[in-house]
Structure 1
Amino acid sequence: MHIFSLVAHPRSDSFCHAISATARSALSAAGHTIEHHDLYEEGFDPCLSPDEAYTIGDTLEEALARAADPVLRSHREGVGKAEGLLVVHPNWWGKPPAILAGWIDRILVPGVAYRLQSTDGLPDGLLGMTKALVINTSDTEAEREDRDLGDPLQLIWGNCVLPYCGVEHFERLIFRPVNGSLPEERARWLEQTQVKCRALFGANQE
């Protein structure tokens, strides 16, 4: 399986980066290939330009033709050919970091991730990704997240984005609270990351 990987955290020594590295190592060991992007390290521009603000476009070729920025085109091509998705980011105010939200706006566009053609406004998913894993760090306790906030990241990824892009199987891991966590806890979380990656994506049978 070819997996498209994203990490979105401004500090390269963050626990998010440790999670991403652990996940990618487990996936590589299982025989999968990975295209990885560190959005902050790459300086990904999250701002949607007026020329990109379209809700039409039926083909990947049309979507790529509108991507004058070679970085943008590269990400759209990578997502278009991927069979799996790995995303690691913190929970900031119940949402992904702005750089990742902008990535969604600029990359998961018509012709790449979905096509609008029905009268009811529901998109047809275009991505060939069969499986997606999103891993979040948080300092909000699980009980309060569910009781008071309704787990907005689950709604964003599991309800609002990935199902409409054609992703068939979505799973999520949350590690919390990260602030004040002990080294033993972090080691256990990284082990859980390895286990989840192996369980969800399996081993490459080729």
Structure 2
Amino acid sequence: MDRIMVVDDEKKIVHMITEFMKVNQIEVVPAYSGREAIKKLDATLKLVILDINMEDIDGMEVCRKIREKSNIPILFLSANSSQYNKVLGLGIGADDYVTKPFDPIELIARVKAHIRRYNSYDNPVKNRIVIRFGDIRIDRAARKVTKNHSEVSLSTTEFNLLLFFLDNRNTVLTRKQILNNVWESELYDRNTVTTYVKRLRDKIEDDRSNPKYIKSVRGIGYIFEVNL
């Protein structure tokens, strides 16, 4: 059974999500504050559902702390829909965002999709595959990216997006293709791809406004130009 952590200072929300997940064979580790979440984080967890507005440590700070230790998928919850662009724009490492009140069926679908992708990419490989180009080094097995010998902190979705670009390098990809292969869900729109491409550029390109690798193709999508 997969284990996730649900972090919210509203105990009723945690209990409700726990019951929904239990029906779907997902075990929930509850946390009622940011500090408790950081203490309970461990390698057995496959995903964190994280409320943004908490009194002791807000969800954004908790997300940053988690990213220092783990690339586990993080799904934000918030009653404030206007925070969506702020969360993604900050590039703090969230993989998804759901506003309250939420549809339990949609939440479960998103959680399962993230766990499925995390499991598929997190499985050990027989041979350690390291990719180098320019000043960037990508270790598939360790799920680690470095630039100029400094580690680049990527969320699970950002790392998966980077791998998809690499596996389809020098090929024009539509936003729909990227969405279907990286997110594997119809619950997201193509603006999601645009947002995550921007975040990835911020982290691996020297100049986001004049990208060397992830280039836009007007009216179509993107191409990842690199010679390996």
Q: Normalization by structure 2: what TM-score?
A: 0.39
Higher relative contact order (CA 8 A, sep 6+): 1
Q: Normalization by structure 1: what TM-score?
A: 0.42
